[in-house]
């Protein structure tokens, strides 16, 4: 059975007080049995939020990014060594906003992934297509080529440690959502591509999350699809009552 995952990406939102309140509310609700809840927290709150969720069954904390170097003269950057020293287990890499606004390439993301894995962090690796590619009908080959140019170059031993998040860029923060059928189609294609490279057994073990305006209204239908193993949730993860409904979308 693949791990069911409800991952929230808080992005650049919330004050410290708001973040503490949100984390406490989610801990009080508890992660549903069999579901891994991951909170993608801004750097400045990682330690505090990790302390709050420590000991809460099924709830972990992720950083939203990390540098490819372990240390050095990179003012303002955060290394995986720093993250691991805080007890952080997960890191989001390759989010479309990092690719678009900070020009992160597939080669750079492969380097970041290798560095994270070497330090013992588990990447949530993002991929996805913009609207123009979706309209052109080339969305499947576009996404598979992203993977071929990055994480498909890992060893099978390293690849099996990843969580993959498919995020149609045209559906992030727009209120638009890929239909459950569209999500399932892409997830199935990603899984088939993994099987081609690493074998079907490993492909069936990898959790693939959908990230594109997941909310309380659509989570259950999305998560019911055979190859959709959960969600990477943006805005809906900032309100505990909404995110709790998403966390319970597997039932």
CA distance 82 to 31: 27
At 127, give phi and psi (nearest 5°): -145, 160
Q: Which of 60, 104, 129, 167 is catalytic?
A: 167
CB atoms within 10 A of CB 158: 16
Q: Which of 95, 97, 104, 187 is catalytic?
A: 95
CA distance 216 to 242: 6
Angle in degrees, 0-180, between the axes of helices 180-198 and 139-148, rounded to the nearest 10 = 40
User: The tokens of 204 are what?
Assistant: 């069936």
> Which of 50, 52, 128, 144 lies closest to 90 in space, CA to CA?
50
* Biggest distance spanned by C-alpha atoms of the chain: 48
95 annotated active-site:
yes
| Residues carrying an active site annotation | 95, 167
């Amino acid at each position: 059975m693949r791990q069911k995952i409800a991952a929230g990406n808080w992005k650049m939102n919330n004050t410290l007080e708001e973040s503490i309140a949100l984390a406490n509310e989610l801990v009080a609700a508890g992660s549903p049995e069999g579901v891994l809840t991951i909170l993608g927290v801004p750097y400045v709150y990682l330690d505090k939020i990790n302390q709050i969720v420590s000991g809460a069954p099924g709830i972990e904390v992720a950083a939203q990014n990390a540098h490819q170097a372990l240390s050095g003269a990179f003012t303002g950057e955060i290394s995986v060594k720093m993250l691991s020293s805080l007890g952080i287990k997960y890191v989001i890499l390759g989010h479309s906003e990092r690719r678009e606004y900070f020009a992160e390439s597939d080669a750079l993301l492969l380097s970041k992934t290798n560095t994270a894995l070497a330090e013992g962090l588990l990447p949530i690796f993002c991929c996805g297509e913009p609207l123009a590619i979706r309209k052109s009908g080339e969305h499947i080959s576009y996404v598979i080529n992203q993977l071929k140019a990055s994480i498909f170059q890992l060893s099978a031993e390293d690849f099996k440690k990843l969580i993959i998040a498919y995020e149609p860029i045209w559906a992030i923060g727009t209120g638009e959502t890929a239909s459950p059928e569209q999500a399932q189609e892409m997830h199935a294609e990603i899984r088939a591509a993994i099987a081609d490279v690493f074998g079907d057994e490993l492909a069936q073990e990898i959790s693939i999350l959908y990230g594109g305006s997941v909310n309380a209204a659509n989570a259950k239908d999305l998560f019911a699809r055979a190859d959709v193993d959960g969600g990477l949730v943006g805005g809906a993860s900032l309100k505990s009552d909404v995110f709790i409904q998403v966390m319970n979308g597997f039932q």
